[in-house]
Amino acid sequence: MAKRIVTAIDVGTTKVATIVASVKAKDNIEILGVGVAPSTGLHKGIVVNMDQAKQSIATSVREAQRISGMHIDSVYVGVTGRHITSVNNRGVVAIPRDDRLVRPQDLKRVLSAARGVPVPEGKQVLHAIPRSYALDGQEMVKQPVGMHGSRLDVETHIITASITSIQNLVKCIRSIGIDVEDLVLEPLASAEAVLTPEERETGVIMADIGGGTTDIAVFKSGSIYHTGVIPVAGYQVTSDLSIGLGLPFEIAEKMKKKYSSVAPELEIEETAQVGIENGHSASQRRLCQIISSRMEELLQLIITEMPTSDYRSLAPCGLVLTGGTSNLPGLTELAEALLRMPVRIGRPLSTGIYGISDILSDPAYATTLGLVLWQVEGKKGSEISLKRHGIRGAIANLFRRLFGA
Ligand SMILES: Nc1ncnc2c1ncn2[C@@H]1O[C@H](COP(=O)(O)OP(=O)(O)OP(=O)(O)O)[C@@H](O)[C@H]1O
Ligand SMILES: [Mg+2]
């Protein structure tokens, strides 16, 4: 069976991860390489220093090329940041012909009607994802083309993003000689990697708690219902520790990863001290208290971000936590006790994915693998035109079309 090479870059706030996969079928994906580099030049998911971001991206790409033995020339890229907003909008059109048969052009018309939400200046539509259709009032139609009716409705999930944030990210990647094939909102990519079809159908909240942002996706009736980005994640936890315990940031980060737990029932002796290089030490009880209260706040923020206060009925399958910060021991128990709903940790690896893939069992790589799965599933890309302008762009696009290069 023919195989194709799929590549993506997850430009995170703490790490940049480039992934190269060889795809034979949806359940036959060989990971050829993942290149990871510490991220610099990003703040809360957006580029704030182009030169530094470029360096980090280039290092991660070089590493992925070295491990996979493949040359990377174009990639899918994840997008996140507090500039992201989302809304559900309906569109409606009449099917005017005598046969009342819904044709592909009717689908196009209704989708374009639904896309007509007011977009604030400086923003543009990143994704417009049809959730479900209705024909003559009959709801829950998944694929209306070929069916008959005189009125076609669609409900769409519209995601908007800041034009400049996206331009800066795309520019960083192109400046190292790699083309951006498409963009995917990061929570949608992470959800691809960690949610089951049953959870999406019944209703589930996914939160990817990374370094700079907590990316949220809510699924209901098999499709995306809500997306959001909270500009608080692991970085702020470390920052609080550093201030609260009077430790340098890097030491606080190491202590967090090595000694922390947020399990609600955990008993820690008052005198217990934990230490790390250069004689830095701290009370373990205090360390865990600071992290627990920050995580409780963050879990509340996730719930505040929900489109309804009745989040338990919205998501009977509960909350799936992923992203690097979901490695915190005791987080599942803390979240279950606080939110009184089922909670599990979403790990990106699943059956049918093999190769140099050990690293992908860490939830920090949910977005990275998700960007590959988004392409494998053949999901529609972003609404943003990434065509390159000018003579160089035209030549590059021509070569791409002719030779797939
Ligand atoms: N064992 C651990 N315990 C607590 N926190 C951890 C652990 N391992 C990783 N983290 C935290 O995970 C965060 C990084 O997660 P991740 O790699 O998902 O972020 P990112 O993708 O770079 O950032 P973002 O998606 O927010 O832009 C860091 O803040 C790090 O401290
Ligand atoms: Mg991330």
CATH number at residue 24: 3.30.420.40
Q: How far is the CA of 323 from the centre of ligand 1 (A)?
A: 6
Same domain, 259 and 285: yes
Report phi then psi at 389, rounded to 5. Answer: -95, 170
pTM of the model: 0.93
Same domain, 243 and 309: yes
Of the chain, the percentage scoring pLDDT greater than 70 comes to 95
Same domain, 336 and 242: yes
Same domain, 171 and 74: yes
**Over residues 270-296, mean pLDDT:** 87
Number of structural domains, the chain? Answer: 3
For residues 224 and 208, give the distance between their C-alpha atoms in angstroms, rounded to a whole number.
15
User: What number does the ligand 1 atom closest to the CA of 186 have?
Assistant: 25
Helices (H), strands (E): how many in the chain? 12, 19
Q: Is the pLDDT of residue 23 over 50?
A: yes
Same domain, 245 and 115: no
Which residues are found with C-beta within 5 Å of the ion, ligand 2?
12, 210, 367
DSSP codes joined into one string, 76-139:
EEEE-STT-EEEEEEEEEE--STT-B--HHHHHHHHHHHT-----TTEEEEEEEEEEEEETTEE
Same domain, 108 and 173: no
Range of the domain at 233: 223-345
Question: Are the C-beta atoms of 144 and 135 separated by less than 8 Å?
Answer: yes
Same domain, 189 and 275: no
Among 353, 345, 292, which residue's Cα sits nearest to residue 323?
Answer: 345
Q: What are the pLDDT digits (tens) for 297-340?
A: 999 999 999 999 999 999 999 999 999 999 999 999 999 999 99
Query: Which of the ligands is closest to the CA of residue 325?
Result: 1
pLDDT band at 405 (very low <50, low <70, confident <90, very high): very low
- Which of 303, 327, 345 delimits the end of a domain? 345
Which amino acids bring their CB within 6 angstroms of ligand 1?
12-15, 39, 45, 80, 210-213, 233-235, 238, 253, 256-257, 323-325, 327-328, 364
Residue nearest atom 28 of ligand 1, based on CA coordinates: 211
Question: Are the C-beta atoms of 288 and 268 separated by less than 8 Å?
Answer: yes
> Which tokens in the block code for residue 361?
């069992």
Question: Are the C-beta atoms of 46 and 11 separated by less than 8 Å?
Answer: no
Q: Is the pLDDT of residue 150 over 90?
A: yes
In a domain, 203, yes or no: no
In a domain, 211, yes or no: no
User: What DSSP designation does 307 have?
Assistant: S
Same domain, 374 and 299: no
